[in-house]
Amino acid sequence: MKDLLAKTWFYRFPLPGGAVTPSYHDGALDAVHTTRVDMMGRALREHFGNAPIASAVDLACHQGWFSWQLTEHGVDRVTGIEPRDEHVADARAVIAAMGLSERIKIKQCDVHDTTPERFGVHPLVLCFGLIYHLENPIGALRRARALTAKGGLCLVETQVVPGMRGFVDWGNYRFVRPLKGSFGIIDEMEETHAAEASTTGICLAPDTEGLMWIMRQIGFTDVALVPPPADGYEQHLYGKRVMVRGVAV
C-alpha cells in the first residue's frame, strides 16, 4: 500500500483504509476523467437501462481507472487491454490492492493485435483517450467493432480537430467527391517515451463529423454524441474532446 501512495498516478484511486492515490498536478486534471465517467454513465443508462452488463473490454486501459469505474457501474467482468509494460504493472497492482482481481483482468496487447478469438465479444467496449494517439485510428476502431457483440454498445472518447468541408476533384474535374471528414496530423515523435503519448509518434486525430461517419461505415448504428454534464471538463464542453456512442449491427 505504501508503494502505491509513494507514486504519483494519472488518476485518484480509492484504496482500502480511506487513502487515495495522489494524481498529477495535485488533481488539476481530474476533471477530464470524472467528466468521462459522467458521460459514460449516461450512455450506459440509456442503452442498458437497469439490465445487468455481463462483461466489457476497456481498450488502452492505461492504469485501469475506467476498468474500475465500469465495475462501479454494474459491469460484472472487465478485461483491460494495455500495451505499455508500466501501465500493465500499475493497473494490476492497484486493482489487486482494491480487491478487484477476480472481476478485472489486465491483458498486455496492442489494440491492433486484439481479436475476438483471443478476447471474445462483449456487450460493452470502451475506447477512451486512444485513437488520437494512433497513426491508424480507423484500424483501431475496426478492432473495437470486432470486439463489440451484436447490439452491444461501443463508446469512443477522443480529442478532435477542426473539420474541413467541401468537394475534391477525384482524378479529374468531372469526378467530384464530397469530404466526409478530416484528420489532423499531430507530431509526438519526441514524446514516444512519455506514458500518455503515442508509441510511434505519428498521430492522426479525427474531426467529429468524420469520426461519426467512419463509425457508421464500419458497422455501428445509432451513432451519436454523448453530451457532457453542465459542469464538465472545458474541452468536452467546447467540443474539443467528444464521446461518441455506437451500437454494433
* CB-CB contact of 98 with 64 (8 Å): no
Q: What is the largest CA-CA distance in the chain?
A: 70
pLDDT reported for residue 2: 65
pLDDT reported for residue 195: 75
Instruction: Determine the average pLDDT of the residues in 7-22.
Output: 93
176: Cβ contacts below 8 Å, ≥ 6 apart: 167, 168, 169, 170
Whether the per-residue pLDDT at 21 is higher than 80: the answer is yes
Whether the per-residue pLDDT at 198 is higher than 90: the answer is no
Task: Tell me what the pLDDT averaged over the chain comes to.
Answer: 96
Tell me the chain's radius of gyration from C-alpha atoms.
18
Classify residue 230 by burial, with Cβ atoms within 10 Å: 0-12, 13-18, 19+: exposed
Instruction: Determine the average pLDDT of the residues in 204-233.
Output: 98
Whether the per-residue pLDDT at 228 is higher than 80: the answer is yes
What does the alpha-carbon distance between residue 129 and residue 132 come to, in Å, rounded to a whole number? 7
What does the alpha-carbon distance between residue 154 and residue 157 come to, in Å, rounded to a whole number? 10
Cell of 156: 469512443
CATH number of the domain residue 147 falls in: 3.40.50.150
* CB-CB contact of 12 with 27 (8 Å): yes
The answer to whether the predicted template modeling score (pTM) of the entire model surpasses 0.85 is yes
Domain count, the chain: 1
Instruction: Determine the average pLDDT of the residues in 200-216.
Output: 97
Instruction: Determine the average pLDDT of the residues in 195-212.
Output: 92
pLDDT digits (tens, 9 = 90+) for 60-72: 999 999 999 999 9
pLDDT digits (tens, 9 = 90+) for 72-91: 999 999 999 999 999 999 99
pLDDT digits (tens, 9 = 90+) for 119-159: 999 999 999 999 999 999 999 999 999 999 999 999 999 99
What does the alpha-carbon distance between residue 229 and residue 139 come to, in Å, rounded to a whole number? 30
What does the alpha-carbon distance between residue 178 and residue 150 come to, in Å, rounded to a whole number? 31
Domain assignment of residue 107, given as a range: 2-248
pLDDT reported for residue 197: 81
pLDDT reported for residue 156: 99
What does the alpha-carbon distance between residue 54 and residue 213 come to, in Å, rounded to a whole number? 29
What does the alpha-carbon distance between residue 249 and residue 244 come to, in Å, rounded to a whole number? 16
Least reliable range by pLDDT among 73-77, 199-203, 204-208: 199-203
Measure CA 244 to chain center: 10
- DSSP code of residue 228: P
